[in-house]
Each structure stands twice: as C-alpha cells, then as structure tokens.
Amino acid sequence: MPQTDYATLTPSSPPRLRVEGLGVAFRVGGREIPAVEDVGFTLATGETLALVGESGCGKSVTALALMRLLPPSARLLGGIAELSGVDLLGLPEKEMRRRRGQELAMVFQEPMTSFDPVYRLGEQLLEAIYAHEDVSYPVAYNRVEESLAAVGLPDPAGIIRRYPHELSGGMKQRAMIAMALLENPGLILCDEPTTALDVTIQAQIMELLARLRDERGLSLLFITHNLGLVAGFAHRVAVMYAGSIVEVATVEDLYSQPSHPYTIGLFASVPRLEGGKGRLVPIPGVVPPLGDFPPGCKFANRCRRVAQLCREKRPELADLGNTHAVACHFPGGDDDRTG
C-alpha cells in the first residue's frame, strides 16, 4: 500500500492545521522514553477531528505539544505543526505566547480545577484578555460578558462576580469555553471536556461546541476515549494506540468499516442496548509499557490476526482510499492469522 500523504485526508486545501512527524519523549530515571511517535493529521477550517484512544495512549501529550505546554520532563523529538502555514514548533516562546489564545486555545479536562479558586471568575477572564491586548477595562469587561453569554451562561454580570466554587461543573466548563473564545481563535483543542460531567450536561456541552463551531467556523481537535460522543459530533476520527495513530477515517467510514484490529476491538467492547443480551468482547492482553514496544507492530501482542511480518516490521499509516488510512499490514477482514 502507498504511504499516506497526510494532506489528502481532509477536503480542505490548504488545511488550517497540518501536523506531521510529531514526537515527544519523557525523561524517566535517566532514560528518555517516547510517548508520542510520528503523529500526523490535518484539520480543515470548520472541521472537528476526534482523537480517540484509551488512557495513556498520548492524546493529551499531543495536544500539549501543539500548545507548547509540555512539562519540563518532556522533550519535543521533532515534527512540524503548521497552523495557517506557520510552524508552531519552531516559533520563539515569546511569539508562541502571543499566538496562544489569539490563534489557538485549549479547553482542559477538569473544569473543577481549571480555575484559580482564590480569584473571582471575571478577574481570571479579564486577565486572559490583558495578556494579549492593551484595552480599557470597559472594553475587556464587555467582551467577557459577551463571551459568557455566547456559551449560554445566564446572568453573565453575576457570573463575573462569582468564585469558581460557586459554579456547578457544567457552568465551569462553559466558562472555560468562554475563556477559550475571548480572543476569537480559529482552532480550539478540547481535551476530554466532558469527562467529569454527568451525561445530561455532557450532551449540553457537545451541543454548545457544535453550535460555536458552525457559527464561527472553528476547527476543533476533540480528544476523547468515548466513542459514543464521536458519532454525532465529529467529521473525522483519528484512532491512537500506544503513542501512534493507527487509523484515520470519516466518522461514517470508521463506524461502518473499521479496518485496524485495535479499532475493531474498540467497537466490540462498547456496550450496546439492542437485545440486552450482547456480550462485550474485551481486547486481549495489555498495552506495552512506554519504552518497551516490540520491534514490529505495537499491537502485535494483542492482535488476533497477527502474522510474522507484524512482529518484524512496523506498519506505516497507508491510504485505503476515500480519506481512509490505516497502519496495518493486513487491514480489515475477520480472518485469523498466526505466526
């Protein structure tokens, strides 16, 4: 199969965001252990790309690398991340600090801990504006009010005066989205934004994000481990396993024709309501520890269709056609191979 040209995986030309060859490693006990390897994808204007995978697979590290907010123990190994043609990974820190908020922003996973508990909410949102612009207080205050109203929070003037602990989890997450929107960025990275919320509030946040995306032409990178959130929200899905992307497809193609054995296993392990008697089929084995990946395919020790080639050669993400790509020597099908 031909090697994938990442730029062909979305209909947009050029894409708003193009990531290629992204790698991140962590220093642990004197060793440098890779956590993200050769990650690449594109994201069109107005598009939502869902980055899906189990905990620890590198989804959040990928987002933090794009924001240039990696912890001190992490090191960027290489790659490019072009936002509107500018490589974020090569920018001086001062210039990157300017672009955070103005061109790209991030909604973090835990709304309960995303705000400083000792400052009123309005002070924190105002600070986000003052970090980028020299504007008067009335101008900044009006923008904060407008942003809070845009995310559906009632009584924005009252919200501004409240402390974070006075807001519910759903209200805090809406406020976090309002903060991300203050400088009108074109790209928002959403890192598990509904994880700590109950299902009713989850649905409201998803509807809010979809509405803002459509109204403002936002590009969204939506990070989640929940396949159930993806179907009615994202345009495309990138499935991540052990630090690498193993499949990229439109939502329709991924749900109707998953091709990587890991993706197929994810769908088989999702609870279903119909009939009430369906058995979950777990993926056998465990994810290899970071820094101890096999020489071939990272999924080989858990794959029901593994062959000797899989143990010897790591597959590259290759194009199956129709914007569908997979990193597997034997994609699709149900036949078992042993070796």
pLDDT tens-digit profile of 13-64? 579 999 999 999 999 888 899 999 999 999 999 999 999 998 889 999 999 9
CA distance 36 to 245: 9
**pLDDT tier at 108, thresholds 50, 70, 90:** confident
H/E stretch holding 79 reads: strand 74-83
pLDDT of residue 285: 86
Span 164-188, average pLDDT: 94
SS3 311: helix
CA angle 200, 101, 188 (to 5 degrees): 40
The three-state secondary structure class of 214 is helix
Counting residues of the chain whose pLDDT is more than 70, the rounded percentage is 92
| Dihedral, CA of residue 139, residue 142, residue 143 and residue 148, to nearest 10 | 160
Domain boundaries, the chain: 6-103+185-326
Model pLDDT, residue 333 = 56
pLDDT band at 118 (very low <50, low <70, confident <90, very high): very high
pLDDT tier, 276 (very low <50, low <70, confident <90, very high otherwise) = low
Per-residue confidence (pLDDT) for residue 278, from 0 to 100: 60
Lowest mean pLDDT among 120-124, 213-217, 276-280, 291-295: 276-280
Which comes out higher in pLDDT, residue 271 or 197?
Answer: 197
What strands lie across the sheet with 86-87, from one edge to the other?
31-43, 17-28, 74-83, 86-87
Using the CB atoms, write b or e for 143-175: b if 16+ within 10 Å.
bbbebbebbbbeebeebbeeebeebebbbbbbb
pTM over 0.85: yes
Query: Is a pLDDT exceeding 50 seen at residue 287?
Result: yes
- Dist. CA 38–CA 315, nearest whole Å: 12
Q: What is the mean pLDDT of the chain?
A: 89
The hierarchical CATH code for the domain 6-103+185-326 is 3.40.50.300
**pLDDT for residue 277:** 56
**pLDDT digit string, tens, across residues 55-105:** 889 999 999 999 999 999 999 999 999 999 999 999 999 999 999 999 999
318 token code pair: 């290759």
Residue 264 has pLDDT above 80, yes or no: yes
What SS3 class is residue 246? strand
> Per-residue pLDDT averaged across 197-208, rounded?
89
What is the reported pLDDT for 246? 97
Residues in the chain, how many? 339
Q: What is the pLDDT of residue 290?
A: 83
Backbone dihedral region of 125: left (phi > 0), alpha (psi from -120 to 50 degrees) or beta? alpha
C-alpha–C-alpha distance, residues 39 and 23, integer Å: 7
- Helical segments of 217-329, H only: 251-256, 261-268, 308-312
Q: Average pLDDT for residues 169-176, to the nearest whole number?
A: 92
